Structure 1
Amino acid sequence: MLSSLIPHWRYAWLVAASSIAGVMNAMAGGGSFLSFPAMLGVGVLPIQANATNTVALWPGQLTSVAALHGDMRKDLLPVICIASAIGGVTGAMLLLHTRQLTFLHLIPWLLLGGTVLFGLSGPVSRRMRRRSAIPHAERKIPSLPVFLALLPICFYIGYFGAGGGFLIMTVLALFGVEEMHTLNSLKVLAACLSNLSAVLTFVMSGAIVWKYCVVSMLFAGAGGYVGAQYARRMNPGVLRAIVVVTGCVVASYFFWKNGW
């Protein structure tokens, strides 16, 4: 009797985790720290779980691009689009050619790395925001160096992705993009296009477990709608702390499970 109930509890956890992930992504980010382990919990193999989770959460990124398109720097769009497309496809292809056991051992390190990057993004974003309050003349940014810097980040997003958006903002800031809204909009665009390239690669390769993908997509979308209603009322520092703690707990669990 108990064994027959376990699959239903795992399915319920996928629904709950996807809903909470949608809320987290709308408020602060980091929803994959919950939705990806939940996908593993229902029995999906690690690589297929990552691919399915990417597809399930991607529509939320598309709506963010639509909302932020007015803040983008038009001169940087071609280089960001090309780097995102190439990086996203190659990262996804490497994932599909990674052995399941190898990726399983990489999971805690990827989660921990994403958590650290997410934690660092708070103070760095505040510093960028203070800089953006000072008027700056928009200066021309060389395309080739930006492309070469963004390409490995977009590759990482196509492979796994957690924390990749922070790296995009950091690189663009180093190259002279000063305005915070511009940085955020270009980050969302690069992440969305990198994940779109990965999504198309995963779909064409047959790596998606659709019965779980559709469920996760629907409930993550519902959670995102709810989260968007309350995002401005919540303390961003508290939200970020919750995401970081969640990431550390999940990474610790996978370290323990892998016998580290």
Structure 2
Amino acid sequence: MLDLAAAHPIFHWRSVWLIIAAFIAGVLNAVAGGGSFLSFPALLGTGIQPVQANATNTVALWPGQITSIAAYWEDVRKNMRLVYPMGLAGLIGGTGGAIVLLITPQTTFMKLVPWLLLIAATIFALSRPITRWLDRRAVARHQRAGTEPQPPRRRLVFLCTVVVCFYIGYFGAGAGFLIITLLSVFGVEDMNEINALKVVSTSMANGVAFLIFVVSGNVEWRYCLMAMVACAIGGYTSARFARLVPQQVLRAMVIVIGFGMAAWFFWTTR
């Protein structure tokens, strides 16, 4: 197994780098997304096993996600007809993904890491163009004479959400946008409704993964607590940062970090 702490001198200062990376991850998650591109490699850099690093990252970042439910509570309450199945899909998919992660050999997961980072970075990079396409699609649908918006096909939405939430339980970076795209494709057009359903499904998937990782003893608490506190502080201070840096610049930073981390892991695990 690759020991990043031994491979590069920057990781001699493990805790300092983790705190800095988690703080920046908290800022990015609050204003643009993609914080896992920094926090997960930083946890790997402490020298812990890859599976434990991923589990610790999930536990460290999950409390910040829960606060989003409170922010969207009115929209959650208005859409209970979809909230319950989306939440159930999150529980089922997240449970499956977390269990499969824990039975994945460390060396196998380490070989998957660059591919997972590449997939997540690609999802993030394509999110804006796809969102614009979905917006044009919705406008065109409304412009057709006599056409009424079609309700989402709940069974298919449920099954697709289970698949996405399996990925969330297993790795998770970039999955929030997958939920947004899924709901948009199936006819949900109100962005507040979409965000509310996204928050419910991803929080449930990460929440059940949180419990599984904690109960199974795969969380490195000495690093988890550092990352959790630093991430929370980063999220809290993100408003000032967001006003200083344009969204396009933040997104570009996340994309560069994501592809850069993927390339670095492809190189070091070859």
TM-score by length of 2: 0.88
- Paired AA for residue 205 in structure 1: S
Q: In the alignment, which residue of structure 1 is the partner of 2:131?
A: 125
Q: In the alignment, which residue of structure 2 is the partner of 1:253?
A: 264
Structure 1 residue 181, shift from structure 2 partner: 2.2
Q: Following superposition of structure 1 onto structure 2, how do residues 46-57 of structure 1 map, counting pairs within 5 Å?
A: 46-57=50-61
Q: In the alignment, which residue of structure 1 is the partner of 2:40?
A: 36
The answer on whether the counterparts of 1:79 and 1:146 sit within 8 Å (CA) in structure 2 is no
2: CA distance between counterparts of 1:83 and 1:229?
A: 36
Moved more, 248-257 or 131-140: 131-140
The answer on whether the counterparts of 1:51 and 1:208 sit within 8 Å (CA) in structure 2 is yes
Q: In the alignment, which residue of structure 2 is the partner of 1:225?
A: 236
- Paired AA for residue 61 in structure 2: L
Structure 1 residue 145, shift from structure 2 partner: 1.4
- Paired AA for residue 145 in structure 1: L
1: CA distance between counterparts of 2:53 and 2:85?
A: 30
Q: In the alignment, which residue of structure 1 is the partner of 2:15?
A: 11
Structure 1 residue 169, shift from structure 2 partner: 1.0
Q: In the alignment, which residue of structure 1 is the partner of 2:198?
A: 187
Q: In the alignment, which residue of structure 2 is the partner of 1:77?
A: 83
The answer on whether the counterparts of 2:36 and 2:173 sit within 8 Å (CA) in structure 1 is yes
1: CA distance between counterparts of 2:104 and 2:118?
A: 20
The answer on whether the counterparts of 1:131 and 1:178 sit within 8 Å (CA) in structure 2 is no
Q: 1:62 to 1:218 in 2, by over 3 A?
A: same
Q: In the alignment, which residue of structure 2 is the partner of 1:91?
A: 97
- Paired AA for residue 23 in structure 2: S
Q: In the alignment, which residue of structure 2 is the partner of 1:177?
A: 188
Structure 1 residue 198, shift from structure 2 partner: 0.5
Identity of aligned residues (%): 51
Pairing partner for 2:215 from 198, 204, 209: 204
Moved more, 130-139 or 172-181: 130-139
Structure 1 residue ranges without an equivalent (≥5): none
Moved more, 68-77 or 225-234: 225-234
Moved more, 76-85 or 129-138: 129-138
Structure 1 residue 7, shift from structure 2 partner: 6.5
Structure 1 residue 130, shift from structure 2 partner: 5.9
Q: In the alignment, which residue of structure 2 is the partner of 1:240?
A: 251
1: CA distance between counterparts of 2:247 and 2:192?
A: 17
Q: 1:125 to 1:181 in 2, by over 3 A?
A: farther
TM-score by length of 1: 0.92
Structure 1 residue 140, shift from structure 2 partner: 3.5
Structure 2 residue ranges without an equivalent (≥5): 1-5, 143-147
Pairing partner for 1:105 from 94, 103, 111: 111
2: CA distance between counterparts of 1:78 and 1:69?
A: 14
1: CA distance between counterparts of 2:173 and 2:112?
A: 13
2: CA distance between counterparts of 1:121 and 1:89?
A: 26
2: CA distance between counterparts of 1:213 and 1:127?
A: 39
Structure 1 residue 238, shift from structure 2 partner: 1.4
The answer on whether the counterparts of 1:92 and 1:202 sit within 8 Å (CA) in structure 2 is yes
The answer on whether the counterparts of 2:134 and 2:185 sit within 8 Å (CA) in structure 1 is no
Aligned length: 256
The answer on whether the counterparts of 2:93 and 2:165 sit within 8 Å (CA) in structure 1 is yes
- Paired AA for residue 162 in structure 2: L
- Paired AA for residue 107 in structure 1: V
